[in-house]
C-alpha cells in the first residue's frame, strides 16, 4: 500500500522531517502517532537502515517508540548484535563463524549478550547524534542530550547527557511529573489535544 506523501512529510516543502510511523516496515519496530524524525544528512525515510543498527531478526528484539517524540538527525539505536559476550574468556564471536570453527549454527546468538528491547516513552526528545543502547528504557517526557550515549534507563521527565549519559536534572517537580504521567495527554483524541494546546504550551499544568 502506498502512503500519501502528506502522511510522511507533515511540513509543506520539507523533505527532511517525517512522521516516522509511516515509513516503518520492520514488524519488530513500533512507533506511535506524530513522532517525528529530522535528518539533514541522509534521507529520513531510510531510518530503519541508517539509524536502527545491528537489529537482526534472529534476536527478536524490539524497538518501541511512543507518541509525540522528537528524534534529531543522526540519533542511533544499537541493538544486541552489536555486543560481544562477557561470559566467554574471549570477546571474539566464535559462534558467529560457526563454519570456520565447526560449531552448531543454532548457537550463533551466543556471540553476544542479549540485553533486551529498547523502549522509548511518549513526548521524548532525543538530541542530535545521541546513541541509545540495547536494553534501555527511556521514560515519558525525558530529554536525551546531543551525542549522549544512553546505557541505562532514564526516568520520566529527566534530562540526561554525556558519555555515558547521566541525569542532569528533572524537568519539573515530582508533583508535576506525576500529574503528567496520570494525565497522559498524548493518548487524548486529537480534538482534545487541540482544545488544550495553549495549556500544554504554557507550561502550566493547572490549566489542564
Tell me the domain boundaries of the chain: 5-83+113-169, 172-208
Which of 24, 36, 45, 84 is labelled catalytic?
A: 84
Q: Are 57 and 109 in contact (CB under 8 A)?
A: no
Listed in sequence order, the residues at least 6 apart from 160 whose beta carbon sits closer than 8 Å to its beta carbon are: 142, 143, 144, 145, 148, 150, 154, 166, 167, 168
Q: Are 78 and 54 in contact (CB under 8 A)?
A: yes
pTM for the whole structure: 0.94
CA dihedral 181, 136, 125, 121 (to 10 degrees): -30
pLDDT one digit per residue (tens) for the chain, 208 residues: 567 788 999 999 999 999 999 999 999 999 999 999 999 999 999 999 999 999 999 999 999 999 999 999 999 999 999 999 999 999 999 999 999 999 999 999 999 999 999 999 999 999 999 999 999 999 999 999 999 999 999 999 999 999 999 999 999 999 999 999 999 999 999 999 999 999 999 888 888 8
Fold classification of 5-83+113-169 (topology level) = UDP N-Acetylglucosamine Acyltransferase; domain 1 (2.160.10)
Pairing of strands 143-144, 125-126: parallel
Q: Exposed, middle or buried, 55 (CB in 10 Å: 0-12/13-18/19+)? A: buried
Find cell 494546546 and name the residue: 197
Q: Is 55 a catalytic residue?
A: no
What SS3 state is found at 133?
strand
Q: CA 158 to CA 127: how far, in whole Å?
A: 14
Listed in sequence order, the residues at least 6 apart from 204 whose beta carbon sits closer than 8 Å to its beta carbon are: none
Listed in sequence order, the residues at least 6 apart from 14 whose beta carbon sits closer than 8 Å to its beta carbon are: none
Amino acid at each position: 500500500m502506498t502512503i500519501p506523501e502528506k502522511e510522511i512529510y507533515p511540513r509543506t516543502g520539507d523533505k527532511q522531517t517525517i512522521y516516522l510511523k509511516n515509513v516503518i516496515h520492520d514488524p519488530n519496530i513500533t512507533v506511535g502517532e506524530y513522532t517525528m524524525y529530522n535528518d539533514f544528512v541522509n534521507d529520513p525515510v531510510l531510518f530503519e537502515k541508517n539509524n536502527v543498527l545491528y537489529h537482526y531478526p534472529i534476536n527478536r528484539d524490539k524497538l518501541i517508540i511512543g507518541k509525540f517524540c522528537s528524534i534529531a538527525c543522526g540519533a542511533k539505536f544499537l541493538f544486541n548484535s552489536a555486543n560481544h559476550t562477557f561470559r566467554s574468556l574471549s570477546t571474539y564471536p566464535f559462534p558467529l563463524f560457526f563454519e570456520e570453527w565447526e560449531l552448531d549454527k543454532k548457537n550463533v546468538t551466543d556471540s553476544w549478550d542479549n540485553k533486551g528491547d529498547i523502549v522509548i516513552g511518549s513526548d521524548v526528545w532525543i538530541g542530535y547524534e545521541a546513541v541509545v543502547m540495547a536494553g534501555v528504557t527511556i521514560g515519558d517526557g525525558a530529554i536525551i542530550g546531543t551525542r549522549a550515549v544512553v546505557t541505562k534507563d532514564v526516568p520520566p521527565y529527566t534530562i540526561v547527557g554525556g558519555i555515558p549519559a547521566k541525569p542532569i536534572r528533572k524537568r519539573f517537580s515530582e508533583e508535576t511529573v506525576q500529574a503528567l504521567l496520570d494525565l497522559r495527554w498524548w493518548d487524548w483524541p486529537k480534538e482534545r489535544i487541540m482544545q488544550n494546546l495553549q495549556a500544554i504550551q504554557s507550561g502550566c499544568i493547572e490549566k489542564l
